[in-house]
Amino acid sequence: MIGILVITHEDLGDHLIRCASHVVGMKPRQLSHLSVFTQDAPEVVLIKARKLIEQLDSGDGVLLLGDMLGATPCNIASRLVQPGKVECLAGVNLPMLVRVITYRNEPLSDVIEKGLSGGQSGVIQINAEESSHAN
């Protein structure tokens, strides 16, 4: 099973995990978050992230989900990438997280593909016609 570490500003990762747990009906195992606050030293966060990765990895790898490309949480995550063992996706959203939870028993490369497609397909504009069908 692929371990998942959500690295985000403030408590966004915690909230995403709570929402995803609600959607899938349980708190998945080998899933954790790491909050990055303004006052945190990146080197200290990096050490915490390495420890969490060790805890989450059962031998199948760990997928890091960062909130925003170019921001501190994602920059820290990018320093942890080990191709084929620890991979990282930027731009985490709820559809992406639910998708990687759902497919985390597949190989890491497949989980990455599913996460990217879930995250991208979950971002769409809803037009008036579609929203009127929801009522």
- The burial of 20, by beta-carbon neighbours within 10 Å (0-12 exposed, 13-18 middle, 19 or more buried), is given as buried
How many whole angstroms separate alpha carbon 111 and alpha carbon 91? 15
Residue ranges and CATH numbers for the domains of the chain are 3-133 (3.40.50.510)
How does the average pLDDT of the chain come out, rounded? 95
What pLDDT is stored for residue 110 in this prediction?
Answer: 98
Q: Would the pLDDT of 135 be above 60?
A: no
Tell me the per-residue pLDDT of 15-69, one tens digit each, with 9 for 90 and over: 999 999 999 999 999 999 999 999 999 999 999 999 999 999 999 999 999 999 9
What pLDDT is stored for residue 69 in this prediction?
Answer: 97
Tell me the per-residue pLDDT of 88-104, one tens digit each, with 9 for 90 and over: 999 999 999 999 999 99
How many whole angstroms separate alpha carbon 49 and alpha carbon 28? 19
Quick check: 62 and 53 in contact, CB under 8 A? yes
